[in-house]
Structure 1
Amino acid sequence: MALWQYALLFTCVLFGGGLAQVMRGRTESAHWRRYLPLLLSFSGAYLLGIAAMEMMPTVFRNPQYHTGVWLLAGFFIQLLLEGLSQGIEHGHVHAHEHGNFRFALTVMVGLGLHAFLEGMPLGTAPEPGESLAAHTAMDAEHLLVGIILHKIPAAFALGLLLRYSGFSKAFTWVCLLVFASLSPLGAVFGEAISIDPVWRNRVLALVVGSFLHISTTILFEADGRKEHGITVRKFVVVIAGMLVAYFTAH
């Protein structure tokens, strides 16, 4: 990855988390419940779109890789991680009135493992001359966009969660800095290790499985409603996210 891509991956978290700090305590902060679901719906639709139209065809290109098992593993690993992270990956804010260090550590472990894992494929670039190298590089670019789109609302939710749970602004910023660092560190780790095409495909399949869980959860829950159905506004946003994914993947 280029240096500017690392910088973008890092600063998008600070932007989302910083926005939460600015809005907290102001009259406009009540509107986050109105606008955050729309951003989440767009990001969820985009993630699902690039996963289905670009990433899944790539990881399933060789039947000998047993990709389906790794994709399912990524789905269920994300299911377990959300038990720790409190669902922040898809914008949930479950504040604890008297949050303690153990609560914050649990959230950061779940969120951090997910962030590190999703960053790894960004650093596992194909070797020069490798088959499908150009297509894989394009996958990495769209994966970067997808990660950024869901990191901004995730960082926003993390910032609100920690502040509403009684943690100081300084502690909240430390957590945001750690969260911002983990996906770039995952990409650095992916570049540092010598990873063959089979393991590169498996790591990407894990991330695809994780994205399928996150995106479908977002699309089902982003309205925060208990009844079935979808609002017109959310439907338009979801279609827009799918169209952006389609035109960037083709």
Structure 2
Amino acid sequence: MAIWQYLILFSSVLIGGGLAQAIRTDSDKNRWQAVLPLLLSFSGAYLLGIAAMELMPTVFRNPEYHTGVWLLGGFFVQLLLEGLSQGVEHGHVHAHKRQGYGYAITVMVGLGLHALLEGLPLGTAGEMGHSLHQHTHMDGDHLLVGIVLHKIPAAFALGLLLRHSGYSSRTTWGCLLLFGLLSPLGAVLGEVISIDPVWRNRVLALVIGSFLHISTTILFEADGDRNHGISAKKFAVVVVGMMVAYFTAH
């Protein structure tokens, strides 16, 4: 990865977290609560789109890798991590007052492990594309865009969660900075650690499974106040997200 890609990955968390800290009035809060589901719906649709049209065809090229098991493993790992992170990955904000630092640490463990894991294939994407003789678009750019799109609302939710739970600005920003550093750290580990093609494939499959859990959860919750329905506005956003994924993956 180039330096600018690391900076974008890190800055996406600062943008999302900074927007959360900038909210001062109830009108600001209500405005962002209306925008956040749309951004989440777009990012969820884009993640699902690139997972189905680009990432999954990449990891399923070799049947000897038993990719399906690792993809399902990533899905269930994310299911477990969500129990720690309180669903921050898909925009949930469940504030808990007077919980002490243990609550923040628990959230950061779940969110941090996810961030570290999703960064690993960014560091190995170029090697994976080369190992497949360039028959794939797996150069990491689309994966990077997908991660950035879902990191902005996740950081926004994390910032709101910590702030409304009563943590100081110093603690909140410390957690945001840590969250911002972990995916770039994962990418660095992916670059410096020598991983054979089989394990590169497995790591990417784990991340895809995680993406499938996050994206489908976002889309299922697209209109939480409706009975198995979705508003026309959010449906249009989902369609646009998948179209963008289609045209960037082809």
TM range (shorter): over 0.9
Q: In the TM superposition, what is the alpha-carbon distance from 1:6 to its structure 2 partner?
A: 0.3
SS of aligned partner of 1:126: helix
Using the alignment, how far apart are the partners of 2:81 and 2:226 within structure 1? 24
Partner deviation per Cα, 1:71-106 (whole Å, 9 max, x = no partner): 000000000000000000000000012231000000
Q: What corresponds to 1:47 in structure 2?
A: 47
Partner deviation per Cα, 1:137-164 (whole Å, 9 max, x = no partner): 43x1100000000000000000000000
Q: What corresponds to 1:2 in structure 2?
A: 2
In structure 2, the gaps of 5 or more residues are: none
Further displaced range: 59-68 or 30-39: 30-39
Scaled by the length of structure 1, the TM-score of the pair is: 0.96
Q: In the TM superposition, what is the alpha-carbon distance from 1:226 to its structure 2 partner?
A: 5.1
Q: What corresponds to 1:223 in structure 2?
A: 223
Is this contact kept in 2: 1:126–1:137, CA < 8 A?
A: no
> Where in structure 2 are the equivalents of 1:27-176 lying within 5 Å?
27-124=27-124, 125-126=126-127, 130-133=131-134, 135=136, 137-138=138-139, 140-176=140-176
SS of aligned partner of 1:135: coil
Q: In the TM superposition, what is the alpha-carbon distance from 1:32 to its structure 2 partner?
A: 1.7
Aligned length: 249
Q: What corresponds to 2:241 in structure 1?
A: 241
1:133 and 1:33, CA in 2 relative to 1: closer, same or farther beyond 3 A? same
Is this contact kept in 2: 1:18–1:156, CA < 8 A?
A: yes
Is this contact kept in 2: 1:99–1:167, CA < 8 A?
A: no
Using the alignment, how far apart are the partners of 1:121 and 1:109 within structure 2? 20
Using the alignment, how far apart are the partners of 1:8 and 1:92 within structure 2? 23
Q: In the TM superposition, what is the alpha-carbon distance from 1:229 to its structure 2 partner?
A: 1.0
SS of aligned partner of 1:97: coil
Q: In the TM superposition, what is the alpha-carbon distance from 1:222 to its structure 2 partner?
A: 3.0
Q: In the TM superposition, what is the alpha-carbon distance from 1:40 to its structure 2 partner?
A: 0.2
Partner deviation per Cα, 1:113-140 (whole Å, 9 max, x = no partner): 00000000000131795333462543x1
Is this contact kept in 1: 2:128–2:138, CA < 8 A?
A: no
1:86 and 1:61, CA in 2 relative to 1: closer, same or farther beyond 3 A? same
> Where in structure 2 are the equivalents of 1:195-234 lying within 5 Å?
195-225=195-225, 227-234=227-234
Using the alignment, how far apart are the partners of 2:52 and 2:27 within structure 1? 40
Using the alignment, how far apart are the partners of 1:129 and 1:37 within structure 2? 37
1:169 and 1:69, CA in 2 relative to 1: closer, same or farther beyond 3 A? same
In structure 1, the gaps of 5 or more residues are: none
Q: In the TM superposition, what is the alpha-carbon distance from 1:25 to its structure 2 partner?
A: 3.7
Is this contact kept in 2: 1:24–1:160, CA < 8 A?
A: no
1:144 and 1:129, CA in 2 relative to 1: closer, same or farther beyond 3 A? closer
Is this contact kept in 1: 2:121–2:187, CA < 8 A?
A: yes
1:226 and 1:98, CA in 2 relative to 1: closer, same or farther beyond 3 A? farther
